[in-house]
Amino acid sequence: MNNPFLAGRTVRVLGERLAPLARESLPGVVFEEGALGPCDLALIDADASPTEALAAIEALARQPEPPAALLIGAHLPTALVKSLMRLARSDVLESPFGAADLALAAAALMAQPAAAGALAAPPPPPQDSRCWAFVGTVGGCGATTLAIEAAAILAQRCKGRRKVCLVDLNLADGAAGAYLGATPNMRLAETTADRIDPAVLGAFSAHVEDDFDLFAAPRDPRAFQRVSPEAVVRMLDVACQAYDWVIVDVPRLRQSWTLDVLAGADEVVLVSELTVPALLSARAMAGEIEADLPEAPPPRIVLNRLNKKMFGPAPSLGEAERALQRKADGGVASDWEAASTSVNLGGPVCHHRPKSKLVKDVEALVDRLVEAPSQRAERPVEVGRPGAVRAA
């Protein structure tokens, strides 16, 4: 099931050509035959037969509590659109369009409140969601891997009780979708911040496993220019309302929204490794974040890919901590076989190689973060920050 906000909703489709695309776009929805009869959403293909489409809209309008209606077609006749406008919840979608466009339009319509509770109520927002941000200090040090493992471990532990999502903010070329074998659906550039609500969020989500969803953007070299900072922050805000755990894979290079994201996180985990350049970068990044966000929790440093036998003249842990000028908050063993098997099969390491030391080490890190969360200095809640919703 892809979209928790559409699960179990009833959709009727008028127009045979539309049916396969509707099924692809709206997984988890219950489809009924024919345009008439009770439903939450009617999808009407105006191109198939404008006359039938008009009759269907008029029949919907006569219902005491008309469902939402989405009219679809290439050159929509004015009479049809005018008739559609009599329905309180209606929209048009012009061809050509893709599955994601249909999912977004349907989700936005179904999110609008129905007159007398015709729609199932959306799930109540979690009361105490927690957000952890993972940032790499050099390219390839394992930020995405550790973010995925942390999310998957939390999902395993909370099964059936709490929901977890991973948000990959590497908008141009994020790897989380490929690592997890899930299709990226988060089309932030195609919407505006004010349109992002729980239903649109649902349309952006990709299912990884029960209680674990992924938000990742389809590859787009211009994504960082095309997506507004408001949309990123709003998306995280809504994710924090819908999920108990929000794990964010934050790009290493600062974007205009990076500090907002880090300021709203309960934990900032800087992922580094035992090489001199990575340690220098970790020290610099930790200092920069502390200087820019003095009230946020101090970043944690996790050293990834530790090996009993490091190649060449690698720093010891003591030397690493001296270089960092702070204690490391955790270490994660190197396990190339487990990591590469998992990315090739698609899925977290804790599924494919649950006994790996890599997994045990991330479990220990998760335990530490859950049991002893960072304390942040009290600060006024600012609207528009991911932290604002959770603190409210």
Ligand X SMILES: Nc1ncnc2c1ncn2[C@@H]1O[C@H](COP(=O)(O)OP(=O)(O)O)[C@@H](O)[C@H]1O
Shortest Å, Cβ 333 to ligand X:
6
Q: Identify what 90 binds: ligand X, Mg ion, none; CB under 5 to 8 Å per kind.
A: none
| Tokens found for residue 5 | 């906000």
144 forms part of the interface with Mg ion (CB under 5 A): yes
Shortest Å, Cβ 278 to Mg ion:
14
Shortest Å, Cβ 143 to ligand X:
4
Nearer to ligand X, 135 or 246 (CB): 135
272 forms part of the interface with Mg ion (CB under 5 A): no
Shortest Å, Cβ 170 to ligand X:
8
Shortest Å, Cβ 341 to ligand X:
9
Nearer to ligand X, 134 or 212 (CB): 134
Give me the DSSP letters along 145-188: HHHHHHHHHHHHHTTTT--EEEEE--TTT--HHHHHT------G
* Cα of 265 vs its chain's centroid, Å: 15
Q: Which residue is nearest to Mg ion (CB)?
A: 144
Q: Identify what 129 binds: Mg ion, ligand X, none; CB under 5 to 8 Å per kind.
A: none
Nearer to ligand X, 227 or 349 (CB): 349
Shortest Å, Cβ 177 to ligand X:
12
Q: Which amino acid is at 230?
A: E
Residues with Cβ < 8 Å from 230, sequence gap 6 or more?
Answer: 192, 193, 384
| Tokens found for residue 136 | 């790499």
Residues with Cβ < 8 Å from 5, sequence gap 6 or more?
Answer: 107, 110, 111, 122, 123, 198, 199, 201, 202
Nearer to ligand X, 352 or 368 (CB): 352
> Of 19-27, 95-103, 137-145, 187-195, which part binds Mg ion (CB under 5 A)?
137-145
Shortest Å, Cβ 179 to Mg ion:
9
Nearer to ligand X, 64 or 311 (CB): 311
Pair 65, 115: CB distance under 8 Å = yes
Q: Identify what 133 binds: Mg ion, ligand X, none; CB under 5 to 8 Å per kind.
A: none
Q: Which residues bind ligand X (CB under 6 A)?
A: 136, 139-145, 175, 304-305, 332, 334-336, 339-340, 343, 358
Shortest Å, Cβ 160 to Mg ion:
30
Nearer to Mg ion, 252 or 351 (CB): 252
356-375 core/surface letters (b: 16 or more CB in 10 A; e: else): bebbebbbebbeebeeeebe
Instruction: Using alpha carbons, list the distances in angstroms from residue 100 to 168, 237, 299, 306.
Output: 18, 21, 36, 41
> The tokens 């490391």 sit on which residue?
328
Nearer to ligand X, 108 or 171 (CB): 171
Q: Identify what 241 binds: ligand X, Mg ion, none; CB under 5 to 8 Å per kind.
A: none
Q: What are phi and psi of 113, to 5 degrees?
A: -65, 135
What is the number of helices (H) and of strands (E) in the chain?
A: 16, 13
Q: Identify what 334 binds: Mg ion, ligand X, none; CB under 5 to 8 Å per kind.
A: ligand X
Q: How far apart are CA 132 and CA 123, in angstroms?
A: 22
Q: What are phi and psi of 9, to 5 degrees?
A: -70, 150
Residues with Cβ < 8 Å from 165, sequence gap 6 or more?
Answer: 151, 205, 212, 213, 214, 215, 239, 242, 243, 245, 246, 247
Q: Identify what 153 binds: ligand X, Mg ion, none; CB under 5 to 8 Å per kind.
A: none
205 forms part of the interface with Mg ion (CB under 5 A): no
Shortest Å, Cβ 178 to Mg ion:
11
Strand partners, 136: 271
> Of 138-146, 192-200, 279-287, 319-327, which part binds Mg ion (CB under 5 A)?
138-146
Nearer to Mg ion, 63 or 183 (CB): 183
Q: How far apart are CA 30 and CA 119, in angstroms?
A: 13
Query: Count residues contacting Mg ion (CB under 5 A)?
Result: 1
Shortest Å, Cβ 257 to ligand X:
18
> Of 141-149, 278-286, 311-319, 326-334, which part binds Mg ion (CB under 5 A)?
141-149
Strand order in the sheet with 164-168: 206-209, 212-216, 164-168, 245-250, 130-136, 267-273, 300-306, 330-333
Give the interface with Mg ion as residue ranges (CB under 5 A).
144
